[in-house]
Amino acid sequence: MTTTWLRLIGHRFVLIPFCLALTAAAWNGYVSLHDGGLVRGVVLGPGGAAVAGATVSMMEKNFTTNSDRGSTRTRADGSFEFTNNRSHNILLRAEVAGVGRSEQITVRLYFRSQNVTLDAPLTIKLDPPRNG
């Protein structure tokens, strides 16, 4: 009797789905612990020095349009943080009014509002000087 039960549990049609379920559960557990929507990064100037008070704006990437998801300012050490990212595919751009702006970078995440710290800094490029 018990042996048949063991055989049943050991059967691949039971075992494999069970393992899959486990993996899924584990993954969801991990996700629920890491989806705080935090996006951290640093803004550097052309010289490589941290830029304080730069405006970093975040956009959600859709296929045709990018919807604005607000902006924040960098701290004294040039670091910034968003806490409200709800997407898995965002764009970031840093700008210092009148001075310059950084490239727009795409950040793709493995799941929605995954906590992430950018490994590359946003580097400000100076605007071409306008005359007049």
User: Tokens standing for 25?
Assistant: 């559960």
Work out the burial of residue 57: count CB atoms within 10 Å of its CB; fewer than 13 is exposed, 13-18 middle, 19 or more buried. middle
Write the binding mask 46 to 65 for other proteins: x where contact by CB under 8 A, - elsewhere. Answer: ----------------xxxx
Which residue among 55, 72, 89, 115 contacts other proteins (CB under 8 A)? 89
Residue 13 tokens, joined: 């049609």
Rounded to a whole number of angstroms, the minimum distance from the CB of residue 16 to other proteins is 6
How many residues make up the chain in this entry? Answer: 132
Count of residues touching other proteins (by CB under 8 A): 15
Q: Which two tokens stand for residue 66?
A: 């990018």
9 makes contact with other proteins (CB under 8 A): no
By CB under 8 A, name the binding residues for other proteins: 12-13, 16, 62-65, 67, 88-89, 108-112
